[in-house]
Amino acid sequence: MNVYIGADHRGFEYKKTIIAALKKTGHVVVDLGTHSKEPCDYPDVAKNVGARVAKDSDSRGILVCMSGIGQTIAANKVKGVYAALCYNLEAAELSRRHNNANVLVLSSKFIPEKDLPKILDVWMT
């Protein structure tokens, strides 16, 4: 499955961990930026990931920023995107099972990095 991933400067480091975990499980990861810790506009990243997911109906998207709130709002403005901000395993599971979310939004401030692989595993299945 194609997974489009994007992060702002506050999610840049987490994005590396997420990409490694996804590749380990055989997913094709398309990194849409940002590619440094330089400040950037999170709405641009969210819209870019959302547009790719909306065009590729068999894909999913993942966004990372400090709180996750802004990325969620921006991504959900793209027609065909159902972005869910998930701070824990249960929310990730419910977002797929009950809401059919196609974009997962994660917080680099409120989610411990060690929890990312479990959240990704639940959300991607």
Q: What is the pLDDT of residues 44-76, one digit of tens each?
A: 999 999 999 999 999 999 999 999 999 999 999
* Element containing residue 2 per DSSP (H, E): strand 2-7
Note the pLDDT of residue 14: 95
Give the dihedral sign, CA 119/7/34/2. Answer: positive
Q: Please state the rounded mean pLDDT for residues 24-33.
A: 97
Our answer to whether residue 27 is catalytic in this structure is no
Q: Residue 100 has what DSSP assignment?
A: -
Catalytic, out of 9, 27, 65, 86:
65
Our answer to whether residue 98 is catalytic in this structure is yes
Q: Which domains does the chain have, with CATH numbers?
A: 2-124 (3.40.1400.10)
pLDDT band at 88 (very low <50, low <70, confident <90, very high): very high
Tokens of 84: 């869910």
* Alpha helices per DSSP H over 40-115: 42-55, 69-75, 89-97
